[in-house]
Structure 1
């Protein structure tokens, strides 16, 4: 796909490239053929480019605006709270933490961060603090952010599956050596790894949506819970995508499997930059936010009142209105329509998804890992 832009829009894109490396502030925002895309407005399910063209936003900005871009209730709540930033804690932080603990089964205490990567970073730091162990275990196809312990083996070429496939240069070899990669849905491989290495944490997306949708096979999440408990390993569910998008309690509430720690973000505040890490109180109390505790935790914008208020307003609306029923129906409509289309055209393809998420794999047979 390519997008032809006017001279004025192309000039805007050129200005960006002149002062921003590559013209974008995240490598994932640079899409081949859309190098001159400059977004000037968003509303509901659409965005508008610099040439005034309105597009339906199936991408949804990597997933956060579950209520649609610029939900008026969410944005108004953020605006009202914006001036509260300071020392100490604010009422909106307290209320959001209470709401998160009420909603998500694994959460007894919670801390707020700004990005999903920060939340998973602190989850692994905490797991290493608790266990005194070095290794972490992730799964092929799961993405947990930009930090070195997990920045590997997401969308890997076939020849690198089964080995180490870092997303970036500059990652220390000893960091890569401390990360174990197992196939998703392969509990036997996890068991072998736990018997071989000193594993501090198992971290996973309960549904690896960063590679589309690979559903956990029956019993897989339950077996991970059993293995983690047996080996004294911290089980971390990265629900930055699945949390709130699939339900207020995240996928763990749907699956009935409770991890030790959970990370949340994206749909939690409908596009405002906030994330969270929560879990068992005896683990969370080891962060340095409790005086004298060993796991350092800090951040200037952690619990920012505007983003915290946006999260509260989002959760209120998700609980008050039939949002999930609506977006689940839209997701099924998209999946069934695509299946019918590919069948009619005799195109080999697997259409899958969960809830509002839909994806097409142009191959034959089930996608299990």
Structure 2
């Protein structure tokens, strides 16, 4: 019996997160990771552009991060009381770097951070409604677990990603079109006094890369300020990957609360919520705070050490310059490749993130635009990349990532492999089994 078969006997589906089981790759078992690569138990080597949905910005098993974690383990373990010097130092650095953060608390995941952000917003405002945007994902909790990758007929109405969510919970979430300023202003005109929070990924990377317009982000800030609603930027993906100050530092729009995760600790399980001091002081971590906040593993010494080492390297080495340069190379190379093949495609992304949508037209601005993507070609070519030792997640609309460990030679190989994979997919008719490749599946936090 193989390891994958053993896993399926004792783990539902054989994996511990909903999008780790890939149709056509159900026997894949990971044995080792290093730098820009991973290896499976059969010895196959893959150049990794999936990157666990984005955390290892420095590359897998970065030696400086590993050394910092090892050193922490030699001196301190989890006590679950008071605070450590590392937690204080990390909080100080986050407050220094991220424009919106006056105070900050650590969690173990991004989903926990966004959960706490919305609970806090409702407590602070005494209001009921939350606004989210089609195509944005904010974690597994009920109030925002809807309308991510929706079928065309589900766009424009509640589309929960899971069974078991109460209808009255779904009814308290308004779903709007991303980049639609008019829809935002109308929602506030209709519901402003009852809107507790607006939450968004400033770049909706859970459907690839929809880039926001300046007018859209500024309209959100304006409407939230006028209505007294809490603006939440979910920067679990964009934070630290795109800039040390998050995407908000690039956009020049400051939210009231920000959530972080993923690249902040290069793969260690961490999340963070921070923002205005008057809001953050409502949490029960401050005696008398009315909004309950707890977590046994919050601020775990291993995780804090990983985050501090990651932030230090991001500040001291040309990490962003490197991954942004490679990202530009990849996007330009892919765009030229598709022109040569006469394949309609829009290549987009930001910095170290890239994605190819197989469709005609200008840069997509909302999820509606992405319904034109050729899913069979998108999933099919990525499945064929696997045979060439290149891994981009073969699920519809999923983004790909570059790390500090990737090289120009990796980019050259990616472009070569992509050309071969796309040619074969066109010749052979796309992906064979798309039923599980086109939907949201499970959480990606």
- TM-score, normalised via structure 2 length: 0.80
Separation (CA, whole Å) in 2 of partners of 1:79 and 1:85: 14
- Who is 2:154 aligned against? 160
Query: 1:135-180 deviations in whole A, cap 9, x for unaligned?
Result: 1000000000000000000011111111111000000000000000
Separation (CA, whole Å) in 2 of partners of 1:95 and 1:11: 45
Mapped contact 2:327–2:351 kept (Cα < 8 A): yes
Shift of 1:31: 1.2
Separation (CA, whole Å) in 2 of partners of 1:239 and 1:105: 12
- Who is 2:303 aligned against? 307
Separation (CA, whole Å) in 2 of partners of 1:71 and 1:103: 22
**Higher RCO (CA < 8 A, seq sep 6+):** 2
Shift of 1:80: 1.8
- Who is 1:368 aligned against? 365
Mapped contact 2:58–2:266 kept (Cα < 8 A): yes
Query: Are residues 1:74 and 2:71 paired?
Result: no
Q: 2:190 aligns with which of 177, 196, 215?
A: 196
Separation (CA, whole Å) in 2 of partners of 1:297 and 1:232: 23
Q: What's the Cα RMSD here? A: 0.8
- Who is 1:102 aligned against? 96
Unaligned runs of 5+ in 2: 367-445
Q: Structure 1: which 4+ aligned runs deviate by more than 2 Å?
A: none
- TM-score, normalised via structure 1 length: 0.96
Shift of 1:78: 1.4
Q: 2:220 aligns with which of 224, 232, 242?
A: 224
Q: 1:49 aligns with which of 36, 40, 61?
A: 40
The correspondence of residues 244-255 of structure 1 with structure 2, limited to 5 A, is 244-255=240-251
- Who is 2:204 aligned against? 208
- Who is 2:334 aligned against? 338
Partner SS state of residue 347, structure 1: coil
Query: Are residues 1:356 and 2:349 paired?
Result: no
The correspondence of residues 279-294 of structure 1 with structure 2, limited to 5 A, is 279-294=275-290
Partner SS state of residue 29, structure 1: coil
Shift of 1:195: 2.2
Separation (CA, whole Å) in 2 of partners of 1:84 and 1:24: 29
- Who is 1:15 aligned against? 6
- Who is 1:175 aligned against? 169
Shift of 1:298: 0.2
Mapped contact 1:204–1:236 kept (Cα < 8 A): yes
- Who is 1:261 aligned against? 257
Query: 1:63-85 deviations in whole A, cap 9, x for unaligned?
Result: 00000000011111112223332
- Who is 2:24 aligned against? 33
Shift of 1:192: 1.4
Separation (CA, whole Å) in 2 of partners of 1:64 and 1:127: 27
- Who is 1:4 aligned against? none
Separation (CA, whole Å) in 2 of partners of 1:153 and 1:116: 18
Query: Are residues 1:121 and 2:118 paired?
Result: no
- Who is 2:77 aligned against? 84
Separation (CA, whole Å) in 2 of partners of 1:218 and 1:240: 20
Separation (CA, whole Å) in 2 of partners of 1:277 and 1:345: 45
- Who is 1:149 aligned against? 143
Query: 1:88-111 deviations in whole A, cap 9, x for unaligned?
Result: 100000000000000000000000
Shift of 1:218: 2.7
Partner SS state of residue 219, structure 1: helix
- Who is 2:436 aligned against? none
